[in-house]
Amino acid sequence: MPSSLLTFDAVSLCLYTQVVGVRSTPGLGLLGTEVSARSKGKVSPTETKSNTKREIEVEVPPEEVARETEALIQKYQKVARLPGFRRGHVPPSIIRQRFAADIKNDVVDALVPRYFRKETDKLGLIPVSQPRVTDLHVHEGEPLRFKASFEVMPTIRLEGYKELRADKPVVSVTDEEVEESLNSVREQHAAFTSVEGRALAEGDFAQVSLDGQPKDGEGQPVHMDDILVEIGGKNTMPEFNENLRGVPAGEERSFDVNYPADSADKRLAGKTFRYTVKVLSIKQKSLPELNDQFAKELGEFANLDEVRQRIREGMEEERKHAAEHEAKDKLVVELVKRNEFEVPEALVERQIDVRLERGLRALAAQGMRPEDIKKMDFNRLRAGQRDQALQEVKASLLLDKIAEEEKIDVSDEEIDREVEALAKQSKQTSEAIRARLTRDGALDRIRNRIRNEKTLDFLYHQSA
């Protein structure tokens, strides 16, 4: 859960009130807008049993409806083109008659969002969902009336977060693990030399090109122009070993390969492929000597012991980070268990959207075709994401509440460092990155993520 938690943006959704959208009523085309107004209106809040659901009844005075109507008629006059009248000179009575339905819709579009926002502000309510507008009453000379149902942030009473305790295991790295890692570095610096005058033998590397087709006709074909296959290697499929051993350079072989159901590449898992493989050349691998000269070639190392020390420190830091991450995961799970509260459905749905978008991007990166993605059962996928999304929303809201209690905030300098890091990563200027983030409204999301991370750090360290 926490791997998604730190990118979750539920708390910043409270800022949704900056632009309040109104769900469209058939035939009226309501638009969400942000308009301030000082005219008086009546509001009647309706109590509900839910901690997050509210319904209000709003009444807009008839004089405000008339004022908005007249203003719209003047706008229509400026642009209306009707036979027999010059542009801008159509009488108001004709405008009112010819565009009655449009003007009525425009009045609703302007006044409903305005008065919804005004009345929720007056009641101290913070909507986190689009309001559902019902019972709309709009007639000339009468008040405009409507009901609006929406969700608000829940009341959260923190319980037991100061009593949370985290496991902090001792991190260690053995000499054997250091040597294994050093050998991996050595393998990365291996040299390959061509072998002439004989066929492929055990331990050789075949430089090949290959084409593979799924035998059932389903799935993507495989094509590779220049790869190395280790004959007898522990990671080489048995079929490649059996069919390429003894083959000289320049010849090709065709054979089937059966992939296990648990294959790491999901495109191949459980399938049988027919391969045509051409041996381009035969190569032997030679490894560099493990000595001080090799250490110096790796970088600023005086000897091999310094390389071993750097490897050990890197592995210890990685394991320490992993252990801390796991401990924080458990802290968040326990925090959610200790605090039960109702969560707005709108926040859960948005987090499901976030999880699905992230998952679909991963599938696309793995090579899944857009047409195959479209065939997926999205209703089932959404249902499968719900429980985890709910936990992530709860966790984020709780962390935000703890941050308020403990006065944990994010400084402008911290935001600047994040912007500079993004600029360096994308090879753009800090000014360009900041402008884009500001335009997309992403700075608040970054601030919220950093705040969550700092709050998790607080929980972890205070649990010692």
* 233-287 tens-digit pLDDT: 988 999 999 999 999 999 999 999 999 988 888 778 888 999 999 999 999 999 9
Quote the tokens at residue 239.
Answer: 């079929």
Beta strands in 33-116 (DSSP E): 42-46, 53-60
Least confident residue range of 123-127, 167-171, 230-234, 444-448 = 167-171
Place of tokens 């991190």: 171
Q: Distances from the Cα of 204 to the Cαs of 188, 230, 366, in angstroms?
A: 17, 6, 30
pLDDT at 182 over 90: yes
Q: How far is CA 455 from the centre of its chain?
A: 21
Q: What is the pLDDT of residue 19?
A: 28
* DSSP E strands, 35-114: 42-46, 53-60
Structure confidence at residue 9 (pLDDT): 40
Of residues 279 and 20, more confidence is placed in 279
Q: What is the C-alpha separation between 126 and 361, in angstroms, rounded?
A: 32
- Please state, in angstroms and rounded to a whole number, the distance separating the CA atoms of residues 199 and 201: 6
**Burial, 13: exposed, middle or buried (Cβ in 10 Å; 0-12, 13-18, 19+)?**
buried
pLDDT at 445 (0 to 100):
87
Average pLDDT of the segment spanning 155-168: 89
464 confidence band (pLDDT: 50, 70, 90): low
Distance, C-alpha 234 to centroid of its chain? 37
CA distances from 271 to 158, 244, 261, 267, 274 (A): 52, 21, 8, 8, 10
End-to-end CA distance of the chain: 22
Residue 152 has pLDDT above 80, yes or no: yes
Q: How many C-beta neighbours within 10 Å does residue 103 have? A: 19
The amino acid sitting at 400 is: D
Beta bridge partners of 148: 56, 133
